[in-house]
Amino acid sequence: MSAYIYAARRTPFGKFNGGLAGVRPDDLAAHAIRAVLADVPGLDPAAIDDVVWGNANGAGEENRNVGRMAALLADLPTSVPGTTINRLCGSGLDAAMMASRQIETGDADIVLTGGVESMTRAPWVLPKPDRAFPARDMTAVSTTLGWRLVNPAMPKEWTVSLGEGNEQLQERFGISRAQQDEFAVRSHERAHAAWESGFYDDLVTPVTPPKGDAVVRDESIRPSSTVESLAGLKPAFRPDGTITAGNASPLNDGASSVLLGSEAAAKTLGVDPIARIVGRGTMALEPQAFGYAPVEAANRALARAGIGWDQVGAVELNEAFAVQSLACVGVWPIDPAIVNTRGGAIAIGHPLGASGGRILATLAKVLREDKQRYGVAAICIGVGQGLAVVLENPEAVS
């Protein structure tokens, strides 16, 4: 039995403290759920067997199982169960992978997946003191991104910042600042062109916050970016480093949702599938080298799909950093031109839990538009992991 993607929607990805800053993450998630279900009007929501949702933080308004909370806020019947999973940046993609296994084993027929992150609204946290009312200062720790409240037993080399880990990757592969800036500019150019062409019109649904104007497009795209303008930015992690705010993904808010089902679910849903999941791969290595983990994750996913890189016509690789994207693309035997043809996370944004659903939905549409049969969606994950999924375009099957 195979698992298919039937519909996918996401919110625009808002800037940190941008247009979506006033929207709670559980409300963003509910908005994405309502949008994807509107694309399958023949579906009785009570027929959904499970909701599997990704979220990387879980420390703020998305606490208490945001997948279940979002389903309730979206007015799904109380009989529809829901769970939230956390594989950091890969949470949304992992949600779809888990759901596909449920379907393949016959445990479910229709599963609603997705992910959400509000990096703006991520709270500060205080560790509990060892006794009541200590007579010392306490430090609030941001939960927006990266390590926090680190266990002292962890080796120091494992707990470096995400940026420092990627500066180490830059040293390992000799990827220059100019190469990273060129990659970033291409991301902005392609994302802008995709929006202008209408590519995202049926993938993104606007959000109107409680206060302010509707957010219609991804807010971080800068079509005016040039290699010259990015070259003027200061390094962010080392005084003499190569990674800047211009060649790394920004902080963002957003949600995505992907509806999966069995082949037989087409009758219940009243729509044809847009992609079939044919391979999955998971990889782990040293925490500081996380940016390189998609390499083997994708290789494993292709092996399980029973195909080779020569059959891949499109790749969606989440651009956490330009340097890690270039490192991965540099060792895969592919034409770099097929990677992120409609822009990537450097331009579009990377609201952690939502990014997996974004790249999966984008890949499915790219395969259809470009008339390609197979594609790979891959993502790197903090603390040394990577995930990948191979999709097949049903329209391209002879």
Task: Confirm whether 350 is a catalytic residue.
Answer: yes
* Distance, CA of 121 to CA of 25 (rounded, Å): 8
In the chain, count H helices and then E strands: 11, 12
Extract the tokens encoding 143. 């939960």
Whole-number pLDDT of residue 130? 86
Backbone angles phi, psi at 356, to 5 degrees: -60, -45
Which ranges in 155-222 belong to alpha helices (H)? 162-173, 177-197
Coil, strand, or helix at residue 147?
Answer: coil
Cβ-Cβ contacts under 8 Å for 393 (sequence gap 6 or more): 275, 364, 367, 368, 371, 372, 373, 374, 375
Q: How far apart are CA 320 and CA 62, in angstroms?
A: 22
- pTM tops 0.85: yes
Q: Whole-angstrom distance between the N-terminal and C-terminal Cα of the chain?
A: 19
In the set 89, 188, 192, 328, the catalytic residue is 89
SS3 content of the chain, % helix, strand, coil (to 5): 35, 20, 45
DSSP string covering 260-272: EE-STHHHHHTS-
Structure tokens at 90: 């890969």
- Given a cut of 70, the residues of the chain with pLDDT beneath it are 398
The CA distance from 338 to 352, in Å, is 24
| Residues 342/199, Cβ–Cβ less than 8 Å | yes
Hey, what are 166's tokens? Answer: 């990627």
pLDDT at 309: 98
Tell me if 165 sits within 8 A of 289, measured CB to CB: yes
Q: Are residues 66 and 352 in contact, defined by beta-carbon separation less than 8 angstroms?
A: no
Question: Is the CB of residue 386 less than 8 Å from the CB of residue 293?
Answer: yes
Residue 87's pLDDT is what? 98
295: CB partners within 8 A, 6+ apart: 283, 327, 328, 331, 332, 386
Radius of gyration of the chain (CA): 20
Distance CA 321, CA 324 (A): 6
- Confidence (pLDDT) at 131: 87
d(CA 38, CA 45): 11
pLDDT at 138: 87
Concerning whether 192 is annotated as a catalytic residue, the answer is no
What is the C-alpha to C-alpha distance for residues 394 and 113, in angstroms, rounded to an integer? 20
Phi, psi for residue 142 in degrees, rounded to 5: -75, 140
- The DSSP bridge pattern shows strands 50-54 and 110-118 to be parallel
Degrees to nearest 5, angle at CA 84 with 79 and 87 = 160
CA 55, CA 353: separation in Å to the nearest integer? 4
